[in-house]
Structure formats: structure tokens, C-alpha cells
Homo-oligomer: A and B are copies of this chain.
Amino acid sequence: MTEIPLAPLERILRRAGAQRVSEDAVVTLSKILQDAAEEMSEDIIENAKKSGRDIIQPEDVKAAIKK
């Protein structure tokens, strides 16, 4: 159901010091990051358009964080 895989997110949590992590918690984190990526995508595409490009470049992504 979630697009961003759970294993890397669980690794990030464990590296930050989490000892036990429920799978539902990792699924929740995956959904939140996916929602953020989807919201950013609209801005990212808009940024490329504003620059007269049809290819998305890193600066389009960086400019979308500010929102």
C-alpha cells in the first residue's frame, strides 16, 4: 500500500536509537513521507515549468522544500 519501502525507514529509526519499532509505526512514517513527496511533486513540476524546462532538475526539488 505504501510506496516508500519500510526497511530503510526502520533502519533510520534504529540508527536514531529506537530499540523496538512496531510495523504499523513504520507504515505510518512511510505514508507521511509519501504524502510529503506527493505535495512537493506539484511544486517541483511547477518550478521546472517556470524555468522553461521539461526536465526536472535538482534545483526544482530544492526550491520546493522552502514551502
Contacts and interface: CB of A to CB of B under 8 A. Distances in A.
Contact of A58 (B5, B25, B33, B60): B25
Q: What class of interface size applies to chain A in its complex with B?
A: 35 or more
A32 to B, nearest CB: 6
Interface in A35-67: 36-38, 40-42, 44-45, 48, 54-58, 60-62, 65
A12 B37 contact: yes
B54 A20 contact: yes
Contact of A5 (B5, B27, B37, B38): B5
B25 A56 contact: yes
B54 A19 contact: yes
B22 A57 contact: yes
